[in-house]
Homo-oligomer: A and B are copies of this chain.
Amino acid sequence: MENFEFYRPTRYVFGKGLENETGKYLKESGFRKALIVYGGGSVVRSGLLQRVKSSLEKNGIGFEELGGVKPNPRADLVYEGIRICKEKSVDVMLAVGGGSVIDTAKAIALGVPYEGDFFDFYLKKATPKEALKTCVVLTIPAAGSEGSDSTVIEKEIDGKVVKNGYSSPLNVPLFSIMNPELTFTLPAYQTACGIVDMMAHIMERYFTNTTGVSVTDRTCEGLLQGIIENARIVIAEPDNYDARANIMWAGTLAHNNLCGVGREQDWATHHLEHQLSALYDVAHGAGLAVMFPAWMEYNLKHDVMRFAQFASRVFGCSMDFEDPERTAREGISALREFYKSIGMPLSFKDIGAKAEDIPLLLNMLGVDDENRTEGKFVTLHRSDCEQIYSIAARYGS
């Protein structure tokens, strides 16, 4: 086990009806004026935005609004948010939505006290010294951004879409209000995308070369099992409160680094997927369902026993002690079958991606066959990434 720090001071307020207390929590924290960041019309149509606003008004918290955040959130809206905050003396960000909304709010929070371009942080050109606090009313369990220290934003630079993440303790939300009822109306496809995403957050940490981390392994496996059994329920019964609640809480634990302490983490698959999202505007979770099994197939021989452990403990595959690789491969099949059972794509074809775009995807990824690589579990050069994309392109064809 490696040395680590674990510091996650977010206050999780979890349960029915608690979004109506948003103003109370902001007031208790001493804030005066929030920028409410949100996405599309559903937050408006469902009446959630109005209830949150009423709660703020009741508690004497002023607010400005910034709607229109889209999946794979863009820098444009971040600049707009920073401008509003500066002009209107906003002192706290209130994200009402899922990962894209929260990530946008975190980006604005970083940008407000900074003189330069907030995207400098995402390009690792600068390090922020301070940030506004971000608070959350979560509506989509998936990205885990409500409890994480990270944010991902896309920006077009010289005609090229750059999708980068930035992690810092400054990004950890102050509080996150989580009412599973708000997720009852999430379409099945979006629900499933969220489930794939949270599983990927665990698996990026699970596949590691660090030894002696069995307590965290067991935690990862338990969470994955819990997600899988509740996923089958929420897809069949979208208004099953307990199943929605289990999925929502699992999404937070999947990405607050409980599953990543003391170990090397991989994250190649996330980066491989980000290029698909950027190029085809495919949902992040859908892209991950295509890419994770491909990544596993390509890297299977690097540590057959770890893949067999995954197969055996997460999917209950019977361990073949004479041929552990068979068990390992069975685990990958079981994962694909599970993704399929919740309506997720499995191949390039399923998401409208094309094999002939692979060179472009590799350019966007920015890998080469020398120093610019991806991943830690296995260090992936351009030729490796090309083969992983090719596995995904070939699958099912």
Which A residues contact B (CB, under 8 angstroms)? 1-16, 18, 180, 211-223, 225-227, 229-230, 241-243, 245-247, 249-250, 253, 258, 261-262
Contact = CB atoms under 8 A, between A and B. Distances in A.
A103 to B, nearest CB: 22
Nearest to A175: B7
A149 to B, nearest CB: 13
Question: Can you list the 9 inter-chain pairs with the closest CB atoms, starting with the nearest?
Answer: A212-B242, A3-B15, A222-B222, A215-B226, A218-B222, A9-B9, A218-B226, A7-B11, A215-B246
B241 A214 contact: no
A5 B10 CA distance: 10
Contact of A213 (B2, B18, B219, B246): B246
B223 A219 contact: yes
Contacts of A3: 14-16, 18
Given A215-B223, A222-B223, 11 more contacts: A1-B15, A6-B11, A8-B9, A14-B262, A214-B229, A215-B249, A216-B249, A218-B222, A218-B226, A219-B226, A222-B222
Contact of A1 (B4, B227, B245): B245
B230 A225 contact: no
B15 A250 contact: no
22 contacts: A1-B245, A3-B14, A3-B16, A4-B14, A4-B15, A5-B14, A7-B10, A8-B8, A14-B262, A213-B242, A214-B229, A214-B246, A215-B223, A215-B226, A215-B230, A215-B249, A215-B253, A216-B226, A220-B222, A221-B222, A222-B223, A249-B262
Most chain-B CB neighbours within 10 Å: which of A212, A220, A247?
A212
A280 to B, nearest CB: 32
A226 B214 contact: yes
A7 B241 CA distance: 23
A247 B217 CA distance: 13
B212 A218 contact: no
A54 B12 CA distance: 38
Nearest to A176: B6
B1 A5 contact: no
A8 B262 CA distance: 19
Contacts of A262: 14-15, 245, 249
A261 to B, nearest CB: 7
Nearest to A1: B245
Contacts of A13: 5
Most chain-B CB neighbours within 10 Å: which of A180, A213, A222, A253?
A222
A214 to B, nearest CB: 5
Contacts of A249: 215-216, 261-262
B217 A226 contact: yes
A133 to B, nearest CB: 14
Contacts of A253: 215, 219, 258
B2 A6 contact: no
Nearest to A243: B212
Contacts of A8: 8-9
Given A223-B215, A261-B249, A12 B6 contact: yes
A250 B249 CA distance: 20
A280 B288 CA distance: 58
Most chain-B CB neighbours within 10 Å: which of A213, A217, A219?
A219
A245 B215 CA distance: 9
A246 B5 contact: no
B1 A212 contact: no
